[in-house]
């Protein structure tokens, strides 16, 4: 049998075979191998971080990754943005009838590799099969331990803080768009999807006074910064000239009339901390695989909650949250 059928979600022999031959063989670990409907795990601290996310990207495979990469990295990053060390994930699959099992294996292989890279273990899961015509979809939930005393939150940005972006902006959204619409931009743009747990752990371990961590996914950097400005009651000022961006992303945005700050990212983070620690933070980030392009892009100041940007011409513009659905199903 080379395709998913309703029987694969029906609780019988075919479902047991799917779990054994694909999920257990790729994700196998002592807790998952028990095949319970729960996972009993040990957490070495009283403070934990929890997150859950659902992934419905269309198409499910794109330059630089697939929905499996997103499912692991997206939840790992959400947990890591609290300053926590991600430890365990669950994975729920909603598969369309007729989906190729070989394609499911591509997704599961990507998940296994990203989980190993992030140092997390997939300990429980579920599978449902639905009528053909949509999907695959994946839901993941993650738990991690918070070992720092810092209260890292969107409400913690302070006057005088520096704003850092850890990598290139806009690559994921443009990569998905290029595959979906078969558009070329002179050079191939690859998704930036990546687990950021190691990068964040390096910052925490260095003892930096981190105030805010945020991964700018849907809505991009513009939405993330507007959320932080509103939560903290501050003005955030950035500089368009300092935003790190691949040439293909810039070309695509110029061609299509998009603001790069509205485009989704899946492998970079916003880091806000005291300005006198910003250079040290950059030094730490640049020792990490996903921090080599880290850049200080702005500052936090007292003022009405808003985000502004210095333009290429030297004027200043208001950076609004995106309106409507710019790129459907980018994660």
Sheet holding 295-301, edge to edge: 212-214, 270-274, 161-165, 295-301, 235-239, 306-310, 316-318
Nearest CA to 262 among 292, 225, 303, 219? 219
* pLDDT of the residue at 300: 98
State pLDDT tens for residues 225-267: 999 999 999 999 999 999 999 999 999 999 999 999 999 999 9
Helices (H), the chain: 13-18, 25-27, 67-80, 101-118, 171-181, 197-205, 220-232, 247-256, 278-285
Return the pLDDT at 326. 65
The low-confidence residues of the chain, meaning pLDDT below 70, are: 325-329
Residues 168 and 245: beta-carbon distance below 8 Å: yes
Domains and CATH numbers, the chain: 6-145 (3.30.1330.10), 161-318 (3.90.650.10)
How far apart are the C-alpha atoms of 105 and 111, rounded to whole Å?
A: 10
SS (H, E, C) 251-267: HHHHHHCCCHHHCCCCC
**Chain segment 307-320, per-residue pLDDT in tens:** 999 998 889 999 99
pLDDT of residue 328: 61
> pTM of the entire structure?
0.93
pLDDT in tens, 105-142: 999 999 999 999 999 999 999 999 999 998 999 999 99
DSSP string, 35-87: --SS-----SSS-EEEEEEEE--SSSEETTEEHHHHHHHHHHHHHHTTT-EEE
CB 69 within 8 A of CB 79: no
Q: Which two tokens stand for residue 296?
A: 């200080």
Helices (H), 134-196: 171-181
The answer to whether 118 and 76 have CB atoms below 8 angstroms apart is yes
According to the model, what pLDDT value does residue 325 have? 67
The pLDDT, as a whole number, for residue 6 is 86
With beta carbons less than 8 A apart as the criterion, state whether 294 and 167 touch.
Answer: yes
Residue 85: phi and psi, rounded to 5, are -95, 110
**Pairing between β-strand 316-318 and β-strand 270-274 as defined by DSSP bridges:** unpaired
Residue 235: left (phi > 0), alpha (psi -120 to 50), or beta? beta
| Cβ–Cβ under 8 Å, residues 72 and 111 | yes
Angle at 192 between CA 182 and CA 141, to 5 degrees: 110
Which one, of 312, 199, 185, lies nearest residue 248 by Cα?
A: 185
């Amino acid at each position: 049998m080379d395709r998913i059928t309703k029987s694969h979600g029906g609780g019988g022999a075919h479902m047991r075979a799917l779990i054994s031959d694909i999920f257990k063989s790729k994700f196998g670990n002592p807790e998952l191998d028990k095949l319970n409907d729960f996972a009993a795990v040990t957490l070495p601290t009283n403070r934990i971080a929890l997150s859950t996310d659902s992934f419905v990207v269309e198409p499910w495979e794109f330059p630089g990754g697939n929905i499996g990469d997103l499912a692991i990295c997206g939840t790992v990053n959400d947990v890591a943005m609290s300053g926590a060390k991600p430890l365990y994930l669950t994975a729920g699959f909603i598969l369309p009838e007729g989906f190729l099992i070989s394609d499911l294996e591509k997704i599961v292989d990507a998940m296994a590799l990203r989980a190993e890279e992030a140092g997390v273990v997939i300990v429980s899961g579920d599978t449902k099969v639905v009528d053909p015509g949509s999907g695959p979809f994946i839901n993941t939930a993650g738990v991690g331990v918070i070992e720092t005393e810092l209260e890292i939150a969107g409400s913690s940005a302070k006057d005088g803080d520096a704003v850092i972006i850890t990598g290139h902006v806009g690559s994921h959204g443009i990569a998905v768009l290029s595959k979906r619409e078969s558009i070329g931009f002179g050079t191939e743009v690859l998704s930036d999807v990546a687990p950021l747990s190691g990068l964040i752990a390096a910052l925490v371990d260095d003892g930096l006074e981190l105030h805010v961590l945020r991964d700018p996914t849907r809505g991009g950097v513009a939405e993330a910064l507007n959320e932080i400005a509103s939560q903290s009651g501050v003005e955030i000022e950035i500089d368009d000239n300092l935003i790190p961006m691949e040439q293909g992303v810039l070309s695509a945005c110029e061609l299509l009339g998009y603001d790069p700050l509205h485009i989704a990212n899946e492998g970079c983070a916003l880091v806000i901390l005291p300005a006198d620690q910003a250079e040290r933070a950059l030094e730490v980030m640049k020792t990490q695989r996903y921090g080599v392009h880290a850049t200080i892009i702005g500052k936090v100041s007292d003022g009405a909650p808003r985000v502004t940007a210095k333009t290429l011409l030297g004027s200043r513009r208001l950076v609004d949250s995106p309106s409507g659905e710019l790129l459907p199903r980018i994660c």
